[in-house]
Amino acid sequence: MKANNVFQVTLLLSYLLLTIGGKELKSINSREKANESLTSPQVNITIQAQDGDIYDCVDVNLQTTFKHPVFKDHKIQMEPSSFPVGLDIKSPLEGAVLQAHLSTFDCPIGTIPILHNNNMDNTILQRIGELASNESRMLGAGIEYWDEVYGIRGSIYVYDPKVKKDSQDLTASWIQISNLPKAAVGVGIGVGSCVSPSLSGDNFARFHIFWDNEELKKGCVDHNCPGFV
């Protein structure tokens, strides 16, 4: 695969959002506690998860993505207008008992959940980079595939991984696409779950999408990335 190829990648993931004892999440009206939510007209409602994470439900057409000049006047298209010839778009997970989704808390139709006041994002990205460096011990298992990529589909299930609370260990399961032979070097985008008790204080898996440019020593997580969708 050439480094200058333009990748059009669709990440279709089934993800299991962990909750404590299956308890429902409680909804917080953004008008009642405006000081705890983003002071922005884009926020429709604020929802707090059982583990303490807070999400803002933001109008899909007013998300921060569209502040990027590349996406000026961009119109959202929910489904692609065409698929590569021979591509199987049927999900192998149809009929599965455990469907991974975020339905444990529902943002209103037409809005998307954005993690609110997540100060751990950059720290998590830094820890992922440290794990891939020579200064840290990294154990991993997975599949590497080198060819033209039109889309990726996968299921990632993480439940109570054994990570010591007082350690700096981080457990992560993700799918990553890179334009160089080594996924940990060069430019890449990854999506998956990270568990780090030293950062979050618990063993819950938190979903993140991260971009990393090892050569430029730059990276970002989720909505901190310019043009994030």
> What's the pLDDT tens digit per position in 51-98?
677 888 888 888 877 777 888 788 887 777 777 676 665 655 444 444
- 8-state DSSP, 109: T
Q: What is the pTM (predicted TM-score) of this model?
A: 0.54
pLDDT of residue 41: 56
The number of folded domains in the chain is 1
Domain that holds residue 110: 11-224
Residue 229 lies in a domain: no
Domain-embedded: residue 73: yes
Q: CA torsion, points 58, 60, 65, 71, in degrees to nearest 10?
A: -150
- Across the range 197-225, mean pLDDT stands at 72
Inform me whether the pLDDT recorded for 132 exceeds 70: no
Taken in order 72, 47, 101, 130, the sign of the CA dihedral is positive
| Any domain includes 40 | yes
- The 10s digit of each residue's pLDDT in 153-170 is 666 665 566 676 666 667
Q: 204 is written with which tokens?
A: 């819950």
Q: Which residues contact 58 (CB under 8 A, 6 or more apart)?
A: 40, 42, 43, 44, 111, 112, 113, 114
Residue 36, in any domain of the structure: yes
Q: Does residue 6 form part of some domain? A: no
